Amino acid sequence: MTDRIKFYLDEHVAKSVTEGLRRRGVDVVTVQELGLQAAEDQQHLQRAAQEGRVVVTQDTDFLRLHAAGVSHGGIVYAPQQTAVPHMLRALMLVHDVLTAEDMVQHVEFL
């Protein structure tokens, strides 16, 4: 059995994306729900990895951390202008096609 992807959405991702993913049965937590809005990006990567989650972000700082070799359980990056319907379709594709193991130290661009 493959290890399904669980998402960790940072504060830049619209609430409607969170709601749409949950309606589709995806395991999602948000920075806001965890009370971690003031945390550093590296802390988010660490927390998500500890929980076996993939960070979903629209913040390019996460791409810089990846390029610098910071360890993580996976990053899904969408540019700021990405429309919610496109983001939902693309995240569902990532969720349905890839495993949590596939995402370790990997960045998926939407």
State pLDDT tens for residues 71-82.
999 999 999 999
Closest C-alpha among 11, 32, 14, 4 to residue 92: 4
Report the C-alpha gap between 15 and 63 in whole angstroms: 22
For the segment 4-27, what is each residue's pLDDT rounded down to a tens digit? 999 999 999 999 999 999 999 999
Query: What CATH class does 6-109 carry?
Result: alpha beta
Closest C-alpha among 7, 3, 2, 5 to residue 18: 7
Closest C-alpha among 38, 55, 5 to residue 63: 55
46, 56, 101 from 94: Cα distances, Å: 21, 11, 12
